[in-house]
């Protein structure tokens, strides 16, 4: 039985048709994912289902007495929510119907009416709806969606926009309506909160209609998919992965059928002409009739949507230059904020002392690494990226860059655009190229025709993200730091970014909550949490399995410290060798997501005072540099060969050979670490 039905629904904005004659129904218990490119009408569908908007033609039928909850992308909070004394009370307002039942029970108990059938009926309803477990469910929702206990006492007005949206989601979870409508619910959730929400939605008995670009989330929560494409809706069975397979097969079949039909039409036209020339009119009319039927039933091949294409070469010309084997290395690094530059106390008041967000005992990225930076919201992932790029100074420790490292930075929080600045202006202000070259480049990022003249301040979230990606690619960079690069982007754009990252020769440091991106792109992780940052030698799935088995950041840091202590066993990924004295120059920071190609020698940051080593002569520097880089290349290749050998079943089955390979790999690791340290020391003594 359907609880919401769309019958011939058409929605228009001015002369533009968003939805055209939509026919669809939501049944009790359905879990439906709504997919389609940005601007396809997903939000419009949700608002129509909720009764917030009305169709221009057709009707939306809702079951009588149906309770509906809508979480919009730009949440609007009612007076009861914002007037609540604290966050916990605001979330609890989602169960106002239970508070009403509790009040009725209290009145009947006070009046001595507990033996009446009405009291038993209300009490039974209160129990079935979860009234007796309400407080536990409120606490579970707040914890699950990432709110620390000390935040529960804050008033809603003191929360950030993202926190308010998460609180609104928690209130919807507590309200538990018959139909839950969610518009991009994963935008402000970290990985733990995502997994909690997925588990809740899987266990929930009510119906769900969710619009999302998060493919992993859709795979985990939905059993049907509605696709909005070319103003029409098509229903598919299964999760997102099943839908994607079906869509690819349907498109391929439609292309084949279109080609076959086109060939048949061409053949019939040829026969008509042949019989006309031979004056065989009866045959000619016969084939004219066939041609007419084919033309009347003519199908068009599915139109390929505009696709984002990220170029591997920069607009300035050429790809990134080759960096040294070591790209960036941090030792005993403390990241955070200085007084007057963002440092605040726990109560939100400006701090008078530096505030340390996280401590990284040892982090290292080598050329070609694709590293995902993960952890809870507020743990310090963005702070770590900003420190590496130079936006924030390190509070303590050492941060060193390798030879010839050029940095490109895509910030999560973009600066406000100047009034009147267009997309084309933003590009031309950054690099001196002709308007034609600029527009050709912007077209690769879907800014075509008049889109290039849109004001930056009026761009949607997805359009602004595409513009920042375009600015990132202006100058060549061999170290890309990207903070939530898929935010606000639709699925085709996310897939384009993943393809770019997989094919790029640059070293990548990526902060992301997009699990599909982390799984398909990143082979190592830096995990930030509990005030610390540590390397995890494995991909996203391996990390989540390790966490389920009890792995924690604190335990990993302690193990790293034990292994790097005197007498401890060295570990290739988490070695903690000391390098020589550091210089003073910091890498030039990029702003507003624009790429910076430094193309200079190693830059280092240090807050410790250490004596400077004597400078080398130019000839000595050149000889030492060539020798060390040759050693680094040779040892790096040998390490790769040995690691491949360890994965060979024949080696794994031969104990003697396995011991030989393992022993040699340990020697190569030690030699590589020593060569890296020597290279860093040599760079600090450059003339």
Calpha distance 475→458 (Å, rounded): 26
What residue has token string 């301040």?
Answer: 457
Better-predicted residue by pLDDT, 43 or 640: 43
Using one digit for the tens of pLDDT, what is the confidence trace for 431-455? 888 888 888 888 888 888 888 888 8
The region of weakest confidence among 134-148, 361-375, 396-410, 558-572 is 558-572
The region of weakest confidence among 9-18, 40-49, 456-465, 562-571 is 562-571
Average pLDDT of the residues in 645-668: 76
In this structure, what are the phi and psi dihedrals at residue 460, rounded to the nearest 5 degrees?
-75, 170
Whether 59 has a pLDDT exceeding 80, the answer reads: yes
User: What is the per-residue pLDDT for 584?
Assistant: 35
User: What is the per-residue pLDDT for 595?
Assistant: 35
* Mean confidence (pLDDT) of the chain: 82
Average pLDDT of the residues in 282-310: 77
Whether 670 has a pLDDT exceeding 90, the answer reads: no
Cβ count near 371 (within 10 Å): 23
Supply the pTM of this predicted model. Answer: 0.72
Q: Kindly state the percentage of the chain with pLDDT values over 90.
A: 34
Q: Measured at the alpha carbon of residue 400, what is the angle toward residues 394 and 403, in degrees to the nearest 5? A: 150
Query: What does the block give as tokens for 542?
Result: 């391996």
SS3 453: helix
Residue 373's nearest CA partner among 547, 212, 197, 191 is: 191
Calpha distance 580→563 (Å, rounded): 21
Q: Kindly state the percentage of the chain with pLDDT values over 70.
A: 86
419 — pLDDT class (breaks 50, 70, 90)? low
Kindly give, in sequence order, each residue whose CB lies less than 8 Å from that of residue 440, ignoring residues fewer than 6 positions away.
Answer: none
Whether 611 has a pLDDT exceeding 60, the answer reads: no
Query: What does the block give as tokens for 20?
Result: 């055209």
User: What is the per-residue pLDDT for 430?
Assistant: 81
User: What is the per-residue pLDDT for 150?
Assistant: 84
Query: What does the block give as tokens for 619?
Result: 């000839």
């Amino acid at each position: 039985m359907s609880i919401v039905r769309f019958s011939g629904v058409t929605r228009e904005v001015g002369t533009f048709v968003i939805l055209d004659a939509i026919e669809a129904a939501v049944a009790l218990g359905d879990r439906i994912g709504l997919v389609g490119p940005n601007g396809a009408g997903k939000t419009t569908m949700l608002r129509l289902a909720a009764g917030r908007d009305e169709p221009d033609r057709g009707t939306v039928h809702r079951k009588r007495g149906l309770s509906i909850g809508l979480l919009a992308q730009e949440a609007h909070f009612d007076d009861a929510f914002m007037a609540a004394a604290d966050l916990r009370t605001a979330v609890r307002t989602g169960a106002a119907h239970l508070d009403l039942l509790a009040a009725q029970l209290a009145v009947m108990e006070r009046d001595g009416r507990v033996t009446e059938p009405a009291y038993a009926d209300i009490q039974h309803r209160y129990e079935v709806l979860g009234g007796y477990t309400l407080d536990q469910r409120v606490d579970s929702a707040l914890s699950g969606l990432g709110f620390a206990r000390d935040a529960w006492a804050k008033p809603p007005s003191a929360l950030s926009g993202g926190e308010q949206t998460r609180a609104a989601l928690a209130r919807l979870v507590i309200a538990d309506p018959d139909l839950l409508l969610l518009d991009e619910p994963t935008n402000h959730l970290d990985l733990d909160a995502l997994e909690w929400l997925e588990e809740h939605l899987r266990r929930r008995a009510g119906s769900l209609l969710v619009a999302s670009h998060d493919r992993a989330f859709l795979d985990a929560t939905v059993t049907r998919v509605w696709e909005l494409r070319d103003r029409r809706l098509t229903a598919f069975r299964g999760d997102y992965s099943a839908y994607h397979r079906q869509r690819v097969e349907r498109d391929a079949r439609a292309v084949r059928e279109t080609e076959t039909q086109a060939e048949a039409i061409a053949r019939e036209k040829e026969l008509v002409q042949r019989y006309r020339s031979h004056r065989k009119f009866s045959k000619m009319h016969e084939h004219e009739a066939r041609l007419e039927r084919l033309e009347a039933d003519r199908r068009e091949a599915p139109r390929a949507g505009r696709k984002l294409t990220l170029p591997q070469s920069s607009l300035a010309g050429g790809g990134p230059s080759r960096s040294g084997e070591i790209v960036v290395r941090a030792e005993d690094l403390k990241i955070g904020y200085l007084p007057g530059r963002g440092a605040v106390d726990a109560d939100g008041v400006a701090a008078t002392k530096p505030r340390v967000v996280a401590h990284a005992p040892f982090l290292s990225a080598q050329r070609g690494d694709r590293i995902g930076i993960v952890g809870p919201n507020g743990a310090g992932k963005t702070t770590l990226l900003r420190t590496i790029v130079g936006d924030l100074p390190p509070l303590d420790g050492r941060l060193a860059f390798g030879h010839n490292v050029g940095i490109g930075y895509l910030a999560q929080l973009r600066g406000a655009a100047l009034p009147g600045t267009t997309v084309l202006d933003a590009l031309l202000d950054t690099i001196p190229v002709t308007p034609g070259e600029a527009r050709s480049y912007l077209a690769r990022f879907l800014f075509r025709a008049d889109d290039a003249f849109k004001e930056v301040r009026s761009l949607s979230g997805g359009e602004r993200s595409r513009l920042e990606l375009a600015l990132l690619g202006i100058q060549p960079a061999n170290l890309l730091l990207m903070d939530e690069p898929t935010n606000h982007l639709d699925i085709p754009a996310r897939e384009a970014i993943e393809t770019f990252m997989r094919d790029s020769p640059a070293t990548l440091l990526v902060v992301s909550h997009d699990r599909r991106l982390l799984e398909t792109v990143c082979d190592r992780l830096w995990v930030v949490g509990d005030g610390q940052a540590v390397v995890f030698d494995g991909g996203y799935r391996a990390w989540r399995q390790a966490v389920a088995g009890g792995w924690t950041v604190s335990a990993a840091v302690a193990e790293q410290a034990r292994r790097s202590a005197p007498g401890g066993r060295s570990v290739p990924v988490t070695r903690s060798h000391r390098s020589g004295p550091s210089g003073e120059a910091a890498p030039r920071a990029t702003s507003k997501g624009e790429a910076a190609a430094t193309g200079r020698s190693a830059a280092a940051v240090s807050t410790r005072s250490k004596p400077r080593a004597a400078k080398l002569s130019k000839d000595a520097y050149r000889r030492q540099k060539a020798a060390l880089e040759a050693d680094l290349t040779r040892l790096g290749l040998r390490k790769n060969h040995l690691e491949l050998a360890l994965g060979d079943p024949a080696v794994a089955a031969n104990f003697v050979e396995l011991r030989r390979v393992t022993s040699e790999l340990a020697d190569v690791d030690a030699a590589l670490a020593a060569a890296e340290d020597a290279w860093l020391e040599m760079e600090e003594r450059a003339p």
